Chains A and B, each alone.
Chain A
Amino acid sequence: MRFDLHVRQGVRDQVGSLAVQMASWEARAPLSDEAREWILQAITPFAHTTVAAGLHVAGVDGSGDYPALTYADSFVYLTVAASALYASDSLSGLREVAPVPAPLVEFTWLSTDEWQREQALLAAFGRLGGLPVDEVLGQSDYRMLKAAGMTQSVEALRAGLILPPAHDAGNLGIQLRTSAELGAALRLIETVPPGTLVLTDGTLTLPFASRERQSLFPEHLRRLCCVRARDRGVVFVALSKSHGLRGEEQLEALAREKMGGGAGVPEHWYLRVGGEPFDNPVVAYLDPGGRLPPAGAVTYFVRLHRTTPLFRLDLDQFFWEQHIRGASDEETRCNEEALLGRLDYASHDQRAYGYPYPIKAAHDRASLTDQERAALRKQIMDAAVQAGMRRSLFRSVALATGHA
Chain B
Amino acid sequence: MATLDELVQRLGERFGVLAESSTDQLTVIARNTDVAIGDLFLLPCKRGPDRFYVFRTTEYANVLNRTLEMNDVARNKLTMPDSYFAEDLADEKLVELRGMVLGYAQYAAGAWSFFRPRRLPQHLTDVYHVDPGNRAVGTVVRELMRSQLGEEGLFVGNLLAGERALVDVPVYLPPHALSHHLGVFGRTGCGKSNLMMVLLGSVLDHNRAVLRRERAGPALSVFAIDPHDEFRAWHAPVGGADGLRAVVAGYSDAERSALVAPFYYLTARDLPGAGLERRVQLSRADVTPADLVSIMEFSEQQIAFANQYYGDHGETWIGRLLSGELTGRRVEEEVPEYLPGTVAAVQRRLGFLTLGSTRVFTRFDPEMGLDYVSDLPDIVCALESGRVIVVDTTLMGELEQFLLNTVVARTLFTLRRALRSADTPGRLEIEIRQGLGNEDAQGQVGLRSFAEALLDRLSDGRLPYQEGDRIRSPDELPYVNIVVEEAPSVLNPLRMRFGSVFRDISRQGRKFGIGLTVVSQQVTEIDHGVLSQLNTQLTMALGNADERREAVRGAAADLGGFGQELQVLGRGQTLLTTSFRDVALPVQVPEYGAYD
Contact = CB atoms under 8 A, between A and B. Distances in A.
A96 B88 CA distance: 5
B85 A93 contact: yes
B89 interface: yes
A185 to B, nearest CB: 19
Contacts of B85: 92-93, 349-351
A99 B85 CA distance: 20
Contacts of A48: 81-82
A112 B527 CA distance: 92
A95 interface: yes
Contacts of B73: 350
A350 B76 contact: yes
A92 B83 CA distance: 9
B441 interface: no
A contact face: mostly helix, strand, loop, or mixed: mixed
Given A350-B73, A350-B76, A350-B77, A93 B89 contact: no
B86 A361 contact: yes
For chain A, give the interface size range. Answer: 20 to 34
- Residue among A48, A89, A349 facing the most chain B CB atoms (10 A cut-off): A349
B483 to A, nearest CB: 49
B84 interface: yes
Interface string B68-100: 000001001100111111111111000000000
A98 interface: yes
A100 B90 contact: yes
B84 A349 contact: yes
B86 A357 contact: yes
A38 interface: no
A350 B80 contact: yes
A350 B68 CA distance: 12
Contacts of B77: 350
B90 A92 contact: no
A86 interface: yes
Contact of A98 (B80, B86, B89): B89
B88 A89 contact: no
Interface residues of B, number: 15
Contact of B89 (A100, A348, A349, A364): A100
B83 A350 contact: yes
Contacts of B89: 96, 98-100
Given A350-B73, A350-B76, A95 B87 contact: yes
Given A350-B73, A350-B77, A50 B82 contact: yes
Contacts of B86: 86, 92-96, 349, 357, 361
A308 to B, nearest CB: 13
Given A350-B73, A350-B77, A92 B82 contact: no
Contacts of A348: 82-84
Contact of A92 (B76, B81, B84): B84
A265 B76 CA distance: 21
Contacts of B83: 93, 348-350, 353
Contacts of A93: 83-87
A87 B581 CA distance: 49
A225 B293 CA distance: 92
Interface string A336-377: 000000000000111101000100010010000000000000
Nearest to B68: A351
A95 B86 CA distance: 6
Contacts of A238: none
A39 B89 CA distance: 43
Interface of A: 48, 50, 84, 86, 89, 92-96, 98-100, 348-351, 353, 357, 361, 364
For the complex of A and B, 7 pairs with smallest distance between CB atoms: A93-B84, A94-B86, A92-B87, A350-B83, A95-B87, A350-B76, A96-B89
Interface of B: 73, 76-77, 80-91
Given A96-B87, A364-B91, 18 more contacts: A48-B81, A48-B82, A84-B88, A86-B86, A92-B86, A93-B87, A94-B86, A95-B87, A96-B86, A96-B89, A98-B89, A100-B89, A348-B82, A349-B83, A350-B80, A350-B84, A357-B86, A361-B86
12 contacts: A89-B87, A92-B86, A93-B83, A93-B85, A93-B87, A94-B87, A95-B87, A96-B88, A100-B89, A350-B84, A351-B85, A361-B88
